Amino acid sequence: MRIACGVAQGLAFGAGLPVVGVNTLMALAQASEADKVLACLDARMGEIYHAVLVRDGTGWRETIATTVCKPELAPAVSGDGWVGVGSGWGVYAQALSAIYEANLTQIRPEVTPTANAILQLATPIFAAGKALSPSEAMPIYIRNRVALTTQEREQGQRL
């Protein structure tokens, strides 16, 4: 993320252009072409990045905010017609299906956030004048901590 953000900043500075941040899980939902999405990416370390998104007249609305969690602790949803998309469904299909089996109409682990989906999400933000200076471009980390200190490991702590 830091590298991608740095590249975007450098290109934008050089071209004198503003930037727009796009949520990866929202781009995944956009690429799916579905209207009700359980977006899930493999976050490694036995966890997933997860969001529940619904397409409305103006774009996407998070009904359950982006989070990182163990797949078996993914939050429940109500209703049916949900489409599960993203690499998390490929890696943790069994755990996620156990939670969402009554809600799902389709599972599509092959869906990825495409450049076209990102462009579709960024365009209205640019049009509304909400783009930022490249110096303000910062990644948003859902999982801020990925390692333990030596002392924490010696005490047997786990993330």
CATH number (domain holding residue 62):
3.30.420.40
**What pLDDT does residue 152 have?**
60
Q: How many domains does the chain have?
A: 1
Identity of residue 57:
G
**Residue range 91-102: average pLDDT?**
96
Determine whether 126 is exposed, middle or buried from the number of CB atoms within 10 Å of its CB (0-12, 13-18, 19+): middle
Is position 31 within any domain?
yes
Closest CA to 49 of 108, 7, 91, 100: 91
**What pLDDT does residue 155 have?**
73
Which pTM value belongs to this model? 0.83
Is position 154 within any domain?
no
Residue span of the structural domain in which 34 resides? 23-113
Query: What does DSSP assign to residue 143?
Result: -
Confidence of residue 142 (pLDDT cuts 50, 70, 90): low
Q: Among the listed ranges 23-27, 128-132, 148-152, which one has the minimum average pLDDT value?
A: 148-152
